[in-house]
């Protein structure tokens, strides 16, 4: 397993002056996978990229690349390339020379440069664009030139810092697909930074959800979506109903004044918890069949579904995505299965949280 690890962070901390930006972060990245660092602005995503690339140094902890410690190794000695948000292309050079730039610095022979640039441009579907001026290229095309420039040196890892954020929605969706395909074909590790959760869910083998300099959870998109480890992740990824409750015993939880079967265990009896139920996991039904009742507050038609907000007897608001229509003021039944109830602990100590995070990550790696 170890030699499949391309990057390893061991207890890495980064401070700028007195500001703690990364707080004791440890993780391993495997070769050939698509990783996404996801989190709100300022949470430390770019700092992780900069540490991998060697643009900044860790204050504490160790960083390994392919098994070797690289803390003080300069960027040009690491087999990493970065695609920046603004592409950072040279406007006075044509497409060919932009892609060839790094190879020229490394003093490759002209013939080799031509072969490598040609191959890189063909990978990003830009064959024939060699002589084009950068200024004549569209946003999506510039993006592809930047990617060609990143892959031409055959790095082990490509870092992408919000590379799609300047594109309009349609092009962005197309480039998401293209990037994912490209990563599969190249078999290189991609570390992609975004604050867009839909983008992260659509593209990644694994997502790292980051907040305030700490990894909150790492896992496949499905794991992160279905089993958020805490309120931050549940709130940040997708839409959720988060309701206060109490654990009664293993597989039994109480909320809205009633007890419900669930699939969670190992939480102390009587411990305060929060319940997460996704809006699409709730069905609208009759009052007899409904597990709880709600008064419809608003109904919005969203094309593929209705977005219904209703209020239960204890005042919680519930968001429901359903293809069934309901009417404002109507009383409806809400039905959900034990599997769609996800229980999150409150009042967990930092040590308990770290242990749980570790076991989640180990489950992931063992799968
Ligand atoms: N060179 C620096 N000097 C001082 N503080 C810095 C420096 N670089 C980053 N920071 C601070 O570190 C924190 C994390 O920054 P970082 O760029 O890693 O966040 P991010 O998650 O990538 O945010 P965004 O999505 O806005 O790019 C921020 O509070 C930022 O202000």
Q: Are strands 241-249 and 272-277 parallel, antiparallel or unpaired?
A: antiparallel
Per-residue confidence (pLDDT) for residue 77, from 0 to 100: 86
Per-residue confidence (pLDDT) for residue 212, from 0 to 100: 92
Tens-digit pLDDT profile for residues 197-237:
989 999 999 999 999 999 999 999 999 998 888 889 988 99
Least confident among 95-109, 122-136, 164-178, 332-346: 164-178
Around Cβ 310, how many Cβ atoms within 10 Å?
Answer: 25
Kindly report the three-state secondary structure assignment for every residue of the chain.
CHHHEEEEEEEEEEEECCEEEEEEEEEEEECCCEEEEECCCCCCHHHHHHHHHCCCCCCEEEEEECCEECCCCCHHHCCEEEECCCCCCCCCCEHHHHHHHHHHHCCCCHHHHHHHHHHHHHHCCCCCCCCCEHHHCCHHHHHHHHHHHHHCCCCCEEEEECCCCCCCHHHHHHHHHHHHHHHHHHCCEEEEEECCHHHHHHHCCEEEEEECCEEEEEECHHHHHHCCCCHHHHHHCCCCEEEEEEEEECCEEEECCEEEECCCCCCCCCCEEEEEECHHHCEEECCCCCCEEEEEEEEEECCCCEEEEEECCCCCEEEEEECCCCCCCCEEEEECCHHHCEEEECCCCHHHHHHHHHHHHHHHHHC
Tell me if 44 sits within 8 A of 193, measured CB to CB. Answer: no
Does CATH number 3.40.50.300 belong to domain 2-226? yes
Q: Which ligand 1 atom sits closest to the C-alpha of 22? A: 14
Tens-digit pLDDT profile for residues 131-166:
999 988 888 888 889 999 999 988 999 999 988 887
Tell me if 335 sits within 8 A of 289, measured CB to CB. Answer: yes
Per-residue confidence (pLDDT) for residue 363, from 0 to 100: 63
Q: In which residue are the tokens 């918890």 written?
A: 273
Residues in the chain, how many? 367
67 lines ligand 1 (CB under 6 A): no
Query: pLDDT band at residue 304, thresholds of 50, 70 and 90?
Result: confident
Query: pLDDT band at residue 105, thresholds of 50, 70 and 90?
Result: confident
Could you report how far apart the first and last alpha carbons of the chain are, in Å?
Answer: 13
Q: Which CATH number fits domain 239-366: 3.40.462.20, 1.20.120.80, 2.40.50.140, 3.30.160.20?
A: 2.40.50.140
C-alpha–C-alpha distance, residues 140 and 146, integer Å? 10
**Is residue 102 scored above 80 in pLDDT?**
yes
**Pocket mutation for ligand 1, best pick of 17, 19, 21 (most atoms within 8 Å of C-beta):** 21
* Domains in the chain: boundaries: 2-226, 239-366
195 lines ligand 1 (CB under 6 A): yes
Tens-digit pLDDT profile for residues 14-46:
999 889 999 999 999 999 999 999 999 999 999
**Is residue 351 scored above 80 in pLDDT?**
no
42 lines ligand 1 (CB under 6 A): yes
ipTM, two decimals: 0.95
Residues facing residue 184 across a β-bridge: none
Rounded to a whole number of angstroms, the CA Rg of the chain reads: 24
The pTM score is 0.86
**Is residue 187 scored above 60 in pLDDT?**
yes
How large is the average pLDDT for residues 281-310?
A: 95
pLDDT above 70 coverage of the chain, percent = 95
Q: Which has the closest alpha carbon to 74: 53, 50, 93?
A: 53
List the residue whose alpha carbon is closest to atom 19 of ligand 1. Answer: 42
For residues 85 and 75, the model is more confident at 75
Q: For residue 42, how far is its CA from the centre of ligand 1 (angstroms)?
A: 5
Per-residue confidence (pLDDT) for residue 364, from 0 to 100: 55
Q: In which residue are the tokens 């419900």 written?
A: 260
For residues 287 and 91, the model is more confident at 287
Query: pLDDT band at residue 267, thresholds of 50, 70 and 90?
Result: confident
Tell me if 48 sits within 8 A of 56, measured CB to CB. Answer: no
**Pocket mutation for ligand 1, best pick of 45, 51, 59, 196 (most atoms within 8 Å of C-beta):** 45
Q: Which range scores top for mean pLDDT: 86-95, 171-180, 208-217?
A: 208-217
How large is the average pLDDT for residues 277-297?
A: 96
Q: Are strands 252-255 and 80-83 parallel, antiparallel or unpaired?
A: unpaired
Per-residue confidence (pLDDT) for residue 2, from 0 to 100: 57
Mean pLDDT value across the chain: 90
Q: In which residue are the tokens 């996404």 written?
A: 36
**Pocket mutation for ligand 1, best pick of 46, 162, 193 (most atoms within 8 Å of C-beta):** 46
């Amino acid at each position: 397993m170890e030699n499949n690890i391309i990057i390893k962070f061991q207890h890495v901390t980064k401070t700028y002056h007195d500001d703690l930006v990364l707080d004791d972060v440890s993780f391993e990245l495997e070769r050939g996978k698509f990783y996404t660092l996801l989190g709100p602005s300022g949470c430390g995503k770019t700092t992780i990229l900069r540490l991998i690339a060697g643009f900044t140094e860790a204050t504490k902890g160790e960083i390994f690349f392919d098994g070797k410690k690289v803390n003080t190794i300069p960027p040009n000695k690491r087999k990493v390339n970065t695609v920046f948000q603004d592409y950072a292309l040279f406007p006075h050079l044509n497409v060919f020379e932009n892609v060839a730039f790094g190879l020229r610095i490394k003093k490759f022979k002209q013939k080799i440069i031509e072969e490598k640039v040609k191959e890189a441009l063909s990978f990003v579907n830009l064959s024939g664009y060699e002589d084009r001026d950068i200024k004549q290229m569209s946003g999506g095309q510039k993006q592809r030139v930047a990617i060609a420039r990143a892959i031409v040196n055959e790095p082990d890892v490509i870092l992408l810092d919000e590379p799609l954020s300047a594109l309009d929605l349609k092009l962005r969706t197309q480039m998401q697909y293209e990037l994912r395909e490209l990563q599969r074909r190249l078999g290189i590790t991609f570390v992609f930074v975004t604050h867009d959760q839909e983008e992260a869910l659509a593209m990644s083998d694994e997502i790292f959800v980051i907040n305030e300099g700490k990894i909150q959870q790492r896992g496949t998109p499905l794991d992160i979506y279905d089993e958020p480890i805490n309120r931050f992740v549940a709130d940040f990824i997708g839409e959720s109903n988060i309701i206060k409750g109490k654990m009664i015993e293993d597989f039994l939880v109480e909320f809205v004044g009633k007890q419900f079967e669930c699939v969670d265990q190992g939480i102390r009896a009587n411990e305060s918890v929060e319940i997460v139920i996704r809006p699409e996991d709730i069905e609208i039904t009759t009052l007899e069949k409904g597990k709880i009742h709600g008064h419809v507050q608003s109904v919005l038609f969203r094309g593929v579904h209705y977005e219904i907000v209703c209020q239960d007897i204890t005042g919680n608001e519930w968001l429901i995505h359903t293809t069934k229509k309901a009417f404002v003021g109507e009383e409806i039944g809400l039905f959900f299965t034990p599997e769609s109830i996800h229980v999150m602990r409150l009042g967990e100590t930092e040590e308990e949280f770290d242990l749980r995070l570790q076991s989640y990550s180990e489950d992931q790696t063992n799968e």
